[in-house]
């Protein structure tokens, strides 16, 4: 059973704003270039698709059979065509037995212990005071592997109050540091952290787990 995720007052208010965007749509872009995104298209892009080929080897390496898409938006893991070459769904492409989704803005909560938790384009939407709590929640359900992609640049989308939808924009090393600090409490979970510095540019840190630091013969940790 999923545990309660305790957010601060501003974090809870943000969930309300994201829910409003899902229900009513939102503006994207500035000035004359601004367009209205209809409710059925809000958070509908399957961010994982752009990384599919590079992610599949990790699913195979760790023997991933079950996955939790944390902050799944409107991603449909069962829809055909995730892989254009084969027409496979995401579930088929990654050879999964079960997929579970968590999207509070859509009142969807299937959080449970799985082999792999994957979270794309989520953490930058979290109020900074809640980042550690959400990271603990991500690790809590990851039995083997946690894959996180975080955007380190402002979004085109606007919140209903006019602010940028990426509320916590930080440098990649900031994200690596805060993930490291939480990873210490989950030493057996391997972590793949990908930081996007623009819409089409991203860099991945070498995959790691905190247990490797304890088992190392040195005190200096490279990753």
pLDDT in tens, the chain (223 residues): 678 899 999 999 999 999 998 888 777 777 666 777 776 766 667 889 889 999 999 999 999 999 999 999 889 999 999 999 999 999 999 999 999 999 999 999 999 999 999 999 999 999 999 999 999 999 999 999 999 999 999 998 889 998 999 999 999 999 999 999 999 999 999 999 999 999 889 999 999 999 999 899 899 887 7
pLDDT of residue 39: 66
3-state secondary structure of 136: helix
The domain limits of the chain are 9-215
Fold of 9-215: Rossmann fold (3.40.50)
**Rounded Cα–Cα distance for residues 124 and 93 (Å):** 27
Q: Which helix (H) or strand (E) holds 54?
A: helix 52-61
Contact 27, 40 (CB under 8 A): no
Q: Please give the sequence-ordered ranges of beta strands (E in DSSP) within the chain, or none if there are none.
A: 26-28, 35-37, 66-70, 98-103, 108-109, 114-120, 142-151, 190-198, 201-204
């Amino acid at each position: 059973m999923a545990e309660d995720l305790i957010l601060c007052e501003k974090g809870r208010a943000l969930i309300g704003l994201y829910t409003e965007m899902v229900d009513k749509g939102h503006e994207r872009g500035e000035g004359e270039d601004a367009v209205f995104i209809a409710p059925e298209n809000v958070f509908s892009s399957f961010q994982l698709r752009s990384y599919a080929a590079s992610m599949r080897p990790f699913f195979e390496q760790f023997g991933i059979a079950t996955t939790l898409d944390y902050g799944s938006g409107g991603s449909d893991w069962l829809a055909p065509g995730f892989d254009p070459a084969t027409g496979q769904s995401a579930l088929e492409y990654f050879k999964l037995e079960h997929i579970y989704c968590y999207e509070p803005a859509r009142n969807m909560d299937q959080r449970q212990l799985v082999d792999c938790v994957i979270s794309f384009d989520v953490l930058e939407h979290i109020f900074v005071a809640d980042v550690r709590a959400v990271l603990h929640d991500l690790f809590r359900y990851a039995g083997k592997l946690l894959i996180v992609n975080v955007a380190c640049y402002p979004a085109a989308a606007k919140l209903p109050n006019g602010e940028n939808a990426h509320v916590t924009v930080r440098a990649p090393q900031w994200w690596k540091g805060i993930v490291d600090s939480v990873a210490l409490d989950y030493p057996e979970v391997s972590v793949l952290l990908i930081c996007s510095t623009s819409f089409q540019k991203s860099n991945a840190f070498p995959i790691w787990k905190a247990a490797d630091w304890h088992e190392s013969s040195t005190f200096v940790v490279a990753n």
